[in-house]
Amino acid sequence: MDRPYAIGIDVGGTNTVVGIVDKRGQILRSGSIKTARHAEVSDYLDELTDLLNQIMEDASISKDQVKGIGVGAPNGNYFSGSIEFAPNLRWKGVIPFAQLLEERSGIPVALTNDANAAAIGEMTYGAARGMKDFIVITLGTGVGSGIVVNGQLVYGHDGFAGELGHVIMRRNNGRLCGCGRTGCLEAYSSATGVARTAREYLDLKPDKSQLRSIPLEDITSKDVFDAAMAGDKMAQDIFKFTGEMLGEAFADFVSFSSPEAIILFGGLAKAGDLIMNPIRESMERNLLAIFKNKVNLLFSELKESDAAVLGASALGWEVK
Amino acid sequence: MDRPYAIGIDVGGTNTVVGIVDKRGQILRSGSIKTARHAEVSDYLDELTDLLNQIMEDASISKDQVKGIGVGAPNGNYFSGSIEFAPNLRWKGVIPFAQLLEERSGIPVALTNDANAAAIGEMTYGAARGMKDFIVITLGTGVGSGIVVNGQLVYGHDGFAGELGHVIMRRNNGRLCGCGRTGCLEAYSSATGVARTAREYLDLKPDKSQLRSIPLEDITSKDVFDAAMAGDKMAQDIFKFTGEMLGEAFADFVSFSSPEAIILFGGLAKAGDLIMNPIRESMERNLLAIFKNKVNLLFSELKESDAAVLGASALGWEVK
């Protein structure tokens, strides 16, 4: 029987979003539930399975027509199908998520982390169509990455490869990162990193800035973006600093896998040229000569509200 | 017809070494010529082809019994089969080496750089047998790398991936590297880097050291090794510094591809525990928690005098 549909599930800290997708990347039906509503993962999975059955029924699609379910989840391990010690979920320890959902739904399930799902999504439906070597960098609350080499996602021997938010950019006096170490890229170049940079600048620099009208601890990357777009010099400098560090990091990533493109995905990528221009200038300045003017810097081509579900669904096509 | 032999060719700045290898990695016959003797690459290739024919005749092997020729060469590009702008060879520009040798020898030729050849050699005959995800780091005059992901060498979109000697370890006030940039791993953790560290230490520190008996500009990494083995504290500190920086770099490499092992290859690896102990301690200290106590640090298992030829020959088995 032909199986022309895949299901994508994006497990976020707040919401879990589900969509049925066709081969062209059209989302036919979607829905969501609250991830944190249930203390027990089995109760959550029951609600999730009900939602799956409901949207398949609404779309007049039987489970025999679904190739597979792809799940993007924090700390998702492709090899084990488990969510392992995810700090932003209520369920602790190792959750055999793919196996549990497969038992309930009767549909094969594959699972990976959010950034890897984004990379598969870009390769299947987005900016990386036709590419065999590229890197997706997700710029959200944290910095994540999905690396594709020779047309295959890089999982590493344990399923945890691609933690590029945690390469060390400042070996001395670096900022404390959520991972417990200091100087990680994520501590500077995430949305939270932008807000931290704003607080540092406001504290250390005497310059005027419209950011001074906001209580220091309340400043978000969105505030910095708005101020920069309104012409605020300090806010623009904050994006310049953020982008320059990303560019330095990208130059090292290129030395590793020499990708055709690096694709920016996630909330902070919405800053557009404000972040892309300093990234491009800094990356080119820092690249080894043989790599200069070869690497495309691109934005995700997945529609933002659908991106996570599309990415996860792309993994659904690959389910064995 | 069965083709039970492969030929490996290691093109070095000084010597070019050739060997006929069987499937178990035994070198049946070998020979060498001077790489730099000929100003014209065509004259060099004529002499190389004569040598190939001679050793095949000596071993009573016809070209029909040879699966392929693998070549490891500085700046060798696997995709194009060319040696491109190799700084330590007399032939300038882009040399279509594989094509020229194939025309002369009548045997299919594949070519890559020295470090990639070493990685294929370890996977075929050495410490990485059975591994699908590992990294070989070559510690010689420079620092090179061959990265294997999912059982395949990482070439990148242009054939130049795996330049891990040129990730930036010191973003401020870094040493000038041969590549023209500053702060590269290679400027510190190569054999030349060890000698540079020795000169810096002797210049900056007041401590006694037997290295002071050697004229500053003549000190080599071998001198530092000998002094360290004889109990010289400063020489031991130089290896500690070198290994600690490698360990910091390795922790970042693990965040990229999560390899099962990192394998040390080349002259400086002969320092053994003197360099391995600080690498191990520093890598573990710097690793992201999910990677701790998972990555094996190993030495090459290819016999040193044969390693480069064996690595190149392993590529010969893969010739299409």
Indicate if the pLDDT at residue B315 is higher than 70: yes
Q: Say if A251 is an interface residue toward chain B (CB within 8 Å).
A: yes
Written out in words, the top-level CATH class of the domain with range A130-300 is alpha beta
Q: Say if B94 is an interface residue toward chain A (CB within 8 Å).
A: no
Q: Say if A291 is an interface residue toward chain B (CB within 8 Å).
A: yes
CA dist B245 to B60, B108, B168, B228, B249, Å? Answer: 49, 41, 11, 18, 6
Indicate if the pLDDT at residue B267 is higher than 90: no
Indicate if the pLDDT at residue A40 is higher than 90: yes
Q: Which pLDDT belongs to residue A223?
A: 97
| pLDDT (tens digit per residue) in B138-187 | 999 899 999 999 999 999 999 999 999 999 999 999 999 999 999 999 99
Q: Say if B116 is an interface residue toward chain A (CB within 8 Å).
A: no
Region B302-318: mean pLDDT is: 88
Q: Do B5-122+305-317 and B130-300 agree at the fold level?
A: yes
| pLDDT (tens digit per residue) in A174-198 | 999 999 999 999 999 999 999 999 9
HSE-up of residue B107 (Cα within 13 Å, Cβ side): 29
Q: Which pLDDT belongs to residue A85?
A: 86
Q: What is the CA A56 to chain-centroid distance, rounded?
A: 27
Residues from chain B that touch A157, judged by Cβ atoms under 8 A, are: 131-133, 258-260
CATH topology of domain B5-122+305-317: Nucleotidyltransferase; domain 5 (3.30.420)
Q: Say if A283 is an interface residue toward chain B (CB within 8 Å).
A: no
Q: Which pLDDT belongs to residue A2?
A: 80
Indicate if the pLDDT at residue A59 is higher than 60: yes
**C-alpha–C-alpha distance, residues B157 and A59, integer Å:** 41
Q: Which of A255, A285, A287, A294 should be substituted to probe chain B, the one whose Cβ sees the most B Cβ atoms within 10 Å?
A: A255
Region A112-123: mean pLDDT is: 94
Indicate if the pLDDT at residue A1 is higher than 70: no
Indicate if the pLDDT at residue B318 is higher than 90: no
| pLDDT (tens digit per residue) in A65-75 | 999 999 999 88
Percent of chain A with pLDDT over 90: 89
pLDDT mean across residues, chain A = 95
Q: Where are the domains of chain B?
A: 5-122+305-317, 130-300
| pLDDT (tens digit per residue) in B17-26 | 999 999 989 9
Residues from chain A that touch B156, judged by Cβ atoms under 8 A, are: 133, 149, 257-259
User: Are A258 and B158 within 8 A, CB to CB?
Assistant: yes
**Segment holding A223, helix H or strand E:** helix A221-229
| pLDDT (tens digit per residue) in B153-165 | 999 999 999 999 9
Region B206-216: mean pLDDT is: 96
Residues from chain A that touch B252, judged by Cβ atoms under 8 A, are: 167-168, 252
User: Are B255 and A286 within 8 A, CB to CB?
Assistant: no
Q: How many CB atoms lie within 10 A of CB A99?
A: 14
Q: How many CB atoms lie within 10 A of CB A215?
A: 7
* CB proximity list for B305: less than 8 A, separation 6 or greater: none
Region A50-75: mean pLDDT is: 95
**Segment holding B31, helix H or strand E:** strand B27-34
Q: Which pLDDT belongs to residue B190?
A: 95
Indicate if the pLDDT at residue A278 is higher than 60: yes
* B168 → closest Cβ in A252, A289, A294: A252
CA dist A19 to A7, A105, A119, A197, B87, Å? Answer: 6, 15, 18, 37, 54
Residue with tokens 């945890």: A160
Region B124-147: mean pLDDT is: 95
Q: Which pLDDT belongs to residue B1?
A: 57
B178-210 exposure pattern, b = at least 16 Cβ within 10 A, e = fewer: ebebebbbbbbbbbbbbbbbbeebbeeeeeebb
**C-alpha–C-alpha distance, residues B2 and B24, integer Å:** 15
Instruction: Decide: A228 and A239 in contact? Cβ < 8 Å.
Output: yes
3-state secondary structure B40-88: CHHHHHHHHHHHHHHHHHHCCCCHHHEEEEEEECCCEECCCCEEECCCC
Q: Which pLDDT belongs to residue B305?
A: 74
10 Å CB burial of residue A293 (0-12, 13-18, 19+) is exposed
**C-alpha–C-alpha distance, residues B246 and B2, integer Å:** 44
